[in-house]
Amino acid sequence: MLCDRIREIRIAKRISQVNLAQQLGVTKQSVSNWENDNIQPSVEMLSRIADALSVSTDYLLGRDEKRYLDISGLSEDAIQTLQELVNIIKQTK
């Protein structure tokens, strides 16, 4: 569920409800309401939440299980190194 995804990702990234609310320009209560499934964010806000948490809207909605990393600003060498590390980790599963 959307509420669970928002909470799980926020906690995994060590972002408080207050900090997420500040990033999005909403109140802590709004974030709490989304996480408790009291209200649903608007489509525009869903997109902003996805950006703030560095995931796709499809991931938030449970339509895609792929997780993404924001690698913008990294050099091609750094990106290649990260890809190699990911490949090694996948092989050791």
pLDDT tens sequence across 1-55: 999 999 999 999 999 999 999 999 999 999 999 999 999 999 999 999 999 998 9
Q: Is residue 86 part of a domain?
A: no
Q: Is residue 54 part of a domain?
A: yes
pLDDT score at 48: 97
Q: Any idea what the Cα angle at residue 21 is, between residues 17 and 22, rounded to 5°? A: 120
Looking at residue 24, which CATH number applies to its domain? 1.10.260.40
Q: Is residue 68 part of a domain?
A: no
Domain that holds residue 30: 2-60
- Number of structural domains (the chain) is 1
Residue count of the chain: 93
pLDDT score at 54: 87
The Cα 91–Cα 85 span in angstroms is 10
Top-confidence residue, 90 or 66: 90
Q: Is residue 77 part of a domain?
A: no
**HEC string for the chain:** CHHHHHHHHHHHCCCCHHHHHHHHCCCHHHHHHHHCCCCCCCHHHHHHHHHHHCCCHHHHCCCCCCCCCCCCCCCHHHHHHHHHHHHHHHHCC
Question: Counting beta carbons within 10 angstroms of the beta carbon of residue 86, is it exposed (0 to 12), middle (13 to 18) or buried (19 or more)?
Answer: exposed
